[in-house]
Every structure is written in C-alpha cells, then in structure tokens.
Amino acid sequence: MMMVGRAVMIFAMSRVCQRRGGGLACLSALAILLLSASTVLADKVVLKIRVGNPIEKAQPKEIKINLPPGIGTNEIINMDGLDLGYDVKNDVYYVYKKLDLEPKQILTYNVEFKDIWVIPEEKLNELQKHVDGMVEKLKGKEQEKTAQDLKTEISQLLLAVKAAQEQNSIRSGIKTIQHIRAYEANLVEMETAGKFIGRMENLVLGTGQDPGRLEGDPKGSPLPKRDIEMKPQDYKTAVIKITLRNVSPSEKREIEVRRDLPPEIKANDILDPGGLEVRADLKAGVCYVFSNKVELAAGETKAFDVKIRDKWNVNFPRFPYLRTSASNILARATAKEKFKSIENMLQKLIVDINEVEKESAPAELNDKYVAFYRHQATRLDVIERKINRVEAALKPFETKVGFNAPPPNPKTTWMIIWIILGFLGFLSLVFFFRWYSKTKAEKLTDENT
C-alpha cells in the first residue's frame, strides 16, 4: 500500500516553478498545471501534463514532475520533448523542462511509459500449468493429498488475481490509482501463492523427482549479501566536478558556493575536497562542501574537483561471488543427475550475471551514474535470491547419510528403543555381578590373611 500512497502524492503535489532573481519560486497561483488521471492505452500509460501562463505578460517557467516509483529508463516510451532527471535522495525519476511561455499560452505534454502494474496473464497461466504438472508427479504417493490441498489454494489465488486485474483494468470509470491499488493487493496474493508453490516443489523434490522448475519460495530466501566486506582501499575513486563562472565581461565577483553530497557519502568518504571546506548538515543528514567566498575575475571560470570514495560502484565483488556460488551449486545439482530443470535454471542465472556485468555504466558521476549502480544492485539481488532458493531446495539431499530409505514407523521405533534399553540393562547386570564377585573375592583374601 505504500506505493499507492506515494503515487497519490506524486499526482497531487507536482508544481510549476520559475526562476526569480537566481532562486526557484513556485507559481502555482499563476500557472495552470493539470496532472490528470493517467490513461492506459493497450500496454502503456499516458501521463498528461498541462501548463499555462494566465497573465498578459511573457514569463519563464520550469516544470518538474516525479514519475511513479518503479518507472525507470527501460519503462519510458516517450517523454514528448521533456528532459529526464533522477532524484538521488528519493530514488525516483522525474521529467522537467525550462519554458518561456507567451501571454496566455498553454502547453500540454503527454509522457508515455509502460504499464508496470500488471501481472501478465501468461505468467498466471504458466504457474497454473506448473502446479498441475507437479500434482501429476505426486499421484499415488503419500504426498498426493497435501499436493491436492495446495493446488486448491494456489488455483483460487491465481483466479482471484486474474479477476482483480480484469475488474480494475484502466477504462472509462476506472482511475489509474485504482489500477495501482489492485496491483499492490495482487502482489500480496502472488507472494502467498509463491510460498504454496514452493512447498509443492519441495514435495516433488522429496520424492526424488524433477519439479520442472523452481517458481516458488516456501519460506522466503535469505536476504542478499549486498555488503560484501570491502577495505577502504578497495573502493574506487569518484570525482564530483563543481564549476563556477563569472559571466560579467568587466567586473570581478565574489561567489558563495555550496554543494550537498549524496546521502551515502560521509565525512570520512571525502578523500580530497579540492580546496573547499567540508561540513555536515545534521538536520538534512548530509555532508556538503562549501566556500563562503570564491573570487572570480571578469569572465573567469574556476573548477573544483572533489574526490570521494565511490559508494555506488561497489557491485564488482558480487559478480565473482555470485558466479562462484551458482557454479558450485550447479556442480552439486549435476552430480545428482536427476534435476535437469535446476541445472538449466542455474546455467541461466550464470548467463544473467555475466550480462549484468557487461553493461556499460555512465562515465561521469551524476544522477544517471548513481541510478545505474543502484538498479544494478537490485538486479543482482533478484539473481541472488534465486540462487539461495535453489541451494535451499538441494540441501536436504546433501544431508542424508546412508541409504535413501523411508523413516521407520512408530512400532519399529519403539522396538528399537526397547532393544537399546534391554542391551543397556544387560550391560549393567554384567557390570554389577563382576563388581560383586570381585568384592567378595577381595574380602575372602583379607580373611585368609
């Protein structure tokens, strides 16, 4: 539900602003901005932005609209002439543009992006087919009744998700926020279904059969190990460039400069402030570099290179770690010679790791650079969870010792217990009689002496 709340805030709080005397002032009283309820056309969402100048005088304005959480560069179809930015602090993309509006001029922009608030029907059908196949594998076995019960629960959940999506698909009378709210509720249903599917997959694996693939997660995989230990010298170095320019052709100027650093950067992460001073803003929770006075001659440009530890390009140790983990588990799965689908899944994960590693990152440290590595970490999290799921599924087979036989029934168990107790009792009697005989012999020896 949190995502829905954030989406509402995006629609309600976007504003139009203009530059005034070097600052940014909001013109919500003067300008018209209608961020109308987005519409869905086929598989895309259209975000309508309307901005106008209601006065009889031309004026500059700037629009800046946050896109809904989850919308990234891969989801954007058309920005309709707007520019794309990334909010490092809030981890959302936004569209923006500086405008010079004529008197009474009104402009409309249609930003198009993919509808990410849909669970594909093909996926739902594939999951149902996967469940049906596993029930067939368990027919005639002691796990059949449990599998049938799980199938009933899973099928009901999948049908409920289908119905909710059809009921809340965007059309006349259905608002985008209702569409998103239904999607959030469906994710909860899918998480429950995933646990049931994982339990059924484990039942199939317990019989020594291949479940076909692993789609569920019965208990939830362990959290990804993002924080692989790195020594300070292991971090790469990044440079934040701050450029000042005096545009006056004849007069020198004194300029005050301040640059807030991203929240990941602490004071000890600033390797070289480049001639600026460092201070922490406790209220905002960030560090910043500043100078109260920078003198610039007429037409002069000064640049400051602030060197910091690169706290975003930190995924490189995870690539060999995940590749090694997947390869080791693949070797163990291959040795079983009966879980081909798990082998294929691990091979695909290794390919995914390599593809993510090969992607080119932005060369310059900016908002796009930060977004790239944050989203790269998220993709590696998804891969790591799948690796952990496979490892958890194989572990029971690697802890067995001896023959792969069914556990004894209660009667056999109690028989074994009584045999052990009888044997211990027999040993106790033997020990007692030997001790008694030895004591009596020692007593007779003492009397004869």
pLDDT digits (tens, 9 = 90+) for 243-282: 999 888 889 999 899 998 888 899 999 999 999 999 998 8
Topology of domain 237-309 in CATH is Immunoglobulin-like (2.60.40)
What does the pLDDT average to over 420-432?
Answer: 79
Q: Whole-angstrom Cα distance, residue 296 to residue 248?
A: 10
| CB crowding 283-301: b at 16 or more within 10 Å, else e | eeebbbbebeebebeeeee
Residue ranges per structural domain of the chain: 2-114, 117-220, 237-309, 407-449
Assign 3-state DSSP to the chain and report helix, strand, coil percentages, each to 5: 45, 25, 30
Same topology for domains 2-114 and 237-309, yes or no? yes
**Distance, CA of 199 to CA of 382 (rounded, Å):** 20
What element of type H or E holds 65?
strand 59-66
Q: Evaluate whether the domain defined by 2-114 bears CATH number 2.60.40.
A: yes
Q: How far apart are CA 120 and CA 134, in angstroms?
A: 22
Residue 12: is its pLDDT beyond 50? Answer: no
The pLDDT confidence band at residue 441, using thresholds 50, 70 and 90, is low
Distances (CA, A) of 202 to 128, 153, 208, 209, 336: 17, 16, 10, 10, 16
Predicted confidence at residue 32, as pLDDT, reads 40
Tell me whether residue 7 is exposed, middle or buried, using C-beta atoms within 10 angstroms of its C-beta: 0 to 12, 13 to 18, 19 or more.
buried
Q: Which residues contact 192 (CB under 8 A, 6 or more apart)?
A: 157
Q: Are 84 and 78 in contact (CB under 8 A)?
A: no
Phi, psi of 258 (to 5 degrees): -150, 135
**Structure tokens, 162:** 């289908």
Number of helices (H), then strands (E), in the chain: 8, 16
Q: At what angle do helices 367-398 and 318-336 cross, to 10 degrees?
A: 30
| Structure token digits, residue 363 | 């060369």
Average pLDDT over residues 312-319: 92
Quote the CA–CA distance of 76 and 171 in Å, as a whole number.
21
CA distance 267 to 410: 65
- pLDDT tens digits along 16-64: 344 344 333 333 334 444 444 444 445 788 888 999 888 889 998 889 9
Kind and range of the H or E run holding 293: strand 286-296
Q: What is this structure's pTM?
A: 0.71
C-alpha distances in Å from residue 427, one per residue of 23, 418, 432, 437, 439 = 94, 14, 9, 15, 18
Model confidence over 148-205: pLDDT tens digits?
999 999 999 999 999 999 999 877 788 888 888 999 999 999 999 999 999 999 999 9
Would you say how long the chain is, in residues? 449
Q: What is the pLDDT of residue 120?
A: 92
